[in-house]
Structures are given as structure tokens and as C-alpha cells.
């Protein structure tokens, strides 16, 4: 496993992180979740990503349990606040009240005294940004949070957050957007704004939730046990990756399989390695429903792709790339 600096900060992260959206506390049994975490640790993954909202807070509890005996200093534990986690009108958003309460809940479930990177999961249009950043600043000064990040914020929101963070002297260091061979929308504005603000990208869904594993064959039934077929996974899969579950896209994806093989990779490894070719990416967060997937995907760490391979990927996927 190789390690990269996170933005302009002094923090280093494993260039592949393990995330537990949909899987822990929902799609997979706790024993399998723990085996995935153990496999990730053995492979050198030190950065773990979760959120209070994942599996309605259960994902944090499963991860906390799986990591409870691990030396805290040897891992980077990252979680998020914003999406609703209860039925109360304050159980959501980025108000001071919710941030403080949510952070305490996450610390309890994760069985830790501090969070390494605490993300605003989405922008909150109903709360003044000053209120949000002042709350983050207090958490940093209390030692409950070491660094601040944001997820899926646009360039303007990142720039305004960075200005406040500078005023408050708090380390705002990460942006967490979706990024894959098929979904490249950050390249135009988010990446330049992040560079300007000193943020590194910790990106999600490198396999487009499994589409870029090649296992969804055109005109075939959904594979048994896959996220698209799983009760816990299907709604999220359909919402965010459903657009690619089409014969033309899946046929193009199949053309990437021999290309990956030519350079000694599997398609999931090629997809993760593709993200890692971009130096503005500090870490790519993989998801896994079983340990074998972790074992396979971590082999993308350290892989250098020839520019000719990058061009051929673009030629194959071009009509379906979201920019």
C-alpha cells in the first residue's frame, strides 16, 4: 500500500481507503464486515470512511466494533454529518446544535475519542456557513475532531468554506466527491477550487458501485448477491448508478476487460488505478461486500498506467462519460 498527503496538510492517508456505505449494518453480516476490515488492515489500508447516516447509524457501530482493538494512532477514522439521522427537525443539517450532537454520537458509536477527518456530508442551504464553521472550529479546539472536510460541495461553496477556515485557523483539508472513469464532473471546477484552497480529494465509488467491475453483463439477469440485486443496495444503486445499467454502456465496459488483462490487471483494479493516476486524489474509497474484493482491489495501489492506456479507456467509454 502506498500513502499520500491529504491536501496541504501534514496528514497522510492510505491511497486506498475502505468505506462502509450500504455494506456494514445493512447488506452484509457483521462477521463479514469485520473480515473486510481485517483484510483491509492486513493490506495496509489505514483510512476508513463512514457516516452517521449509513445504515441509519449502524455502520459506524459496526466499524467501531471492528476497529476497537486497533492502535488508534495507526488508523485514520473519518465520518460525516448532515443527512437526517432521526425524525426530529434538528436531527439533520449543519446547525451548531446538530453538529455538536451528531459528533458526540459518532464518537460513541465509533468507540473513539476523536475523528481524524470530519466531513460536512452535503452543503446546508438553511444554515449560515459561519455557524457551521464556528461549530467545526470548536470541535477542533476541543480535540474531538482533527481535520475538516466536505462532501459534494461545489467550487464556490469550497472557496467560501476555505475563507472561513482561514479566518478561524482550522485545518480544512478534504473534499469527498464521486469520481470514476464514468463520472468525472469534478475535473472542471471542484478540483481547481480545491487546489486553490489546499484540499485533497478523497473520492467515492471508483467502480460506479460495481458497474466498472464488469460483472453486470449486457442483457443478463442481475448477478445474485450483487448490490444491484440486494434489498439494501438496490435503491441506492438505482438512484446513482442506474443510468449505466444499459446495454450500450455495459457492452463498452466489457471491452475494458481485455484491456485490463493486457496489462496484468482485473477490471476492478484498472478502475481503482485509473482514479489513482490523478495526483489531486489523495485516496480512493473502495466498498466491498466480501474480503476477496478488498484483496483484489488493493492491488491497484502503486500501479502506473501508461498514457496510451488512459487514452484507450477514454475512447471506449467516451459517449457515456459524465464531465
DSSP symbols for 91-103:
SSSS-HHHHHHHH
Closer CB to ligand NDP, 168 or 255, in the complex: 255
**In the complex, minimum distance from the CB of residue 204 to ligand NDP, in angstroms, rounded to a whole number:** 3
Q: How far is the CB of 276 from ligand NDP (least distance, A)?
A: 13
Region label for 57, one of left (φ > 0), alpha (ψ between -120 and 50) or beta (otherwise): left
Question: Which is nearest to 272 in space by CA: 314, 213, 315?
Answer: 213
Which residues of the shown chain bind ligand NDP in the complex (CB under 6 A)?
Answer: 19-21, 23, 49, 151-152, 176, 204-210, 213, 215, 226-227, 230, 233, 268, 285-289, 293, 296-297
Q: Which residues are catalytic?
A: 54
Which residue number, 58 or 138, has a Cβ lying nearer to ligand NDP? 58
Q: Which is nearer to ligand NDP, 193 or 202 (CB)?
A: 202
Tell me how far, at minimum, the Cβ of 272 lies from ligand NDP, in Å.
8
Q: Reduced to 3 DSSP states, what percent helix, strand and coil does the chain have, rounded to the nearest 5?
A: 45, 15, 35
Q: How far is the CB of 141 from ligand NDP (least distance, A)?
A: 25
Cβ neighbours of residue 128 under 8 Å, at least 6 residues apart?
Answer: none
Please tell me the distance from the alpha carbon of residue 21 to that of residue 14, in angstroms, as a whole number: 18
Q: How far is residue 68's CA from residue 296's CA, in Å, rounded to a whole number?
A: 25
Helix (H, G, I), strand (E, B) or coil at 147: strand
Q: Which residue, 50 or 137, has its beta carbon nearer to ligand NDP?
A: 50
Amino acid at each position: 500500500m502506498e500513502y499520500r498527503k491529504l491536501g496541504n496538510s501534514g496528514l497522510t492517508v492510505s491511497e486506498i481507503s475502505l468505506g462502509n456505505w450500504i455494506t456494514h449494518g445493512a447488506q452484509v453480516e457483521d462477521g463479514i464486515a469485520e473480515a473486510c476490515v481485517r483484510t483491509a488492515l492486513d493490506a495496509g489500508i489505514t483510512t476508513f470512511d463512514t457516516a452517521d447516516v449509513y445504515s441509519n447509524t449502524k455502520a459506524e457501530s459496526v466499524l467501531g466494533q471492528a476497529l476497537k482493538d486497533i492502535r488508534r494512532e495507526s488508523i485514520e477514522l473519518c465520518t460525516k454529518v448532515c443527512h437526517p439521522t432521526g425524525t426530529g427537525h434538528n436531527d439533520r443539517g449543519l446547525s451548531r446544535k446538530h453538529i455538536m450532537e451528531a459528533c458526540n454520537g459518532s464518537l460513541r458509536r465509533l468507540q473513539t475519542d476523536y475523528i481524524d477527518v470530519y466531513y460536512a456530508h452535503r452543503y446546508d442551504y438553511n444554515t449560515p456557513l459561519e455557524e457551521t464553521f464556528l461549530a467545526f472550529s470548536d470541535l477542533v479546539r476541543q480535540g474531538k475532531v482533527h481535520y475538516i472536510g466536505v462532501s459534494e460541495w461545489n467550487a464556490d461553496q469550497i472557496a467560501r468554506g476555505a475563507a472561513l477556515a482561514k479566518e478561524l485557523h482550522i485545518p480544512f483539508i478534504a473534499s469527498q466527491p464521486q469520481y470514476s472513469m464514468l463520472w468525472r464532473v469534478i475535473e472542471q471546477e471542484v478540483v481547481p477550487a480545491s487546489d486553490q484552497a489546499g484540499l485533497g480529494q478523497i473520492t467515492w465509488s471508483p467502480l460506479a458501485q460495481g458497474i466498472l467491475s464488469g460483472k453486470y453483463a449486457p442483457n443478463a439477469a442481475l448477478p445474485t448477491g450483487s448490490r444491484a440485486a440486494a434489498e439494501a443496495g438496490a435503491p441506492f444503486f438505482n438512484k446513482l448508478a442506474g443510468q449505466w445499467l444499459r446495454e450500450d454502456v455495459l457492452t463498452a465496459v466489457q471491452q475494458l476487460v481485455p484491456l485490463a488483462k493486457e496489462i496484468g490487471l482485473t477490471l476492478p483494479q484498472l478502475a481503482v488505478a485509473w482514479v489513482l493516476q490523478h495526483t489531486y486524489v489523495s485516496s480512493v474509497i473502495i466498498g466491498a461486500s466480501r474480503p476477496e474484493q478488498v484483496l483484489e482491489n488493493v492491488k491497484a495501489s502503486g500501479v502506473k498506467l501508461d498514457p496510451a492506456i488512459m487514452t484507450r479507456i477514454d475512447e471506449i467509454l467516451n459517449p457515456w462519460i459524465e464531465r
